[in-house]
Amino acid sequence: MLPRVYIETTIPSFYCDNRVAPAVSLRRAWTREWWKNAPASYELVTSEAVLEELGDGAPAESRNRLALVQDLILLPITPPIIEIVQVYVEHRLMPRDTAGDALHLALASFYKCDFLLTWNCRHLANANKFGHIRRVNTMLGLYVPILVTPLEMLGGNDDPAQ
Query: In CATH, what number does 4-153 get?
Result: 3.40.50.1010
pTM greater than 0.75 (yes/no): yes
For residue 126, what pLDDT is reported?
74
For residue 59, what pLDDT is reported?
86
Q: At a CB cut-off of 8 Å and minimum separation 6, what does 48 contact?
A: 74, 76, 77
**Alpha carbon of 70 to those of 92, 121, 144: distances in Å?**
32, 25, 26
23-66 pLDDT per residue, tens: 999 999 999 999 999 999 999 999 999 999 999 888 888 999 99
pLDDT bucket at 161, cuts 50 / 70 / 90: low
Dihedral sign of CA atoms 93, 129, 75, 49 in order: positive
pLDDT at 158 over 60: no
Closest CA to 153 of 123, 117, 121, 122: 117
DSSP for the chain, please give it.
-PPEEEE-THHHHHHH-----HHHHHHHHHHHHHHHHHHHHSEEEEEHHHHHHHTSS-HHHHHHHHHHHTTSEEEP--HHHHHHHHHHHHTTSS-S-TTTHHHHHHHHHHTT-SEEE-S-TTTTS-HHHHHHHHHHHHHHT----EEE-HHHHTTS---TT-
For residue 147, what pLDDT is reported?
92
Mean pLDDT (whole number) for 131-160: 85
74-112 pLDDT per residue, tens: 999 999 999 999 998 888 877 666 568 889 999 999 999
Distance CA 148, CA 112 (A): 15
For residue 159, what pLDDT is reported?
52
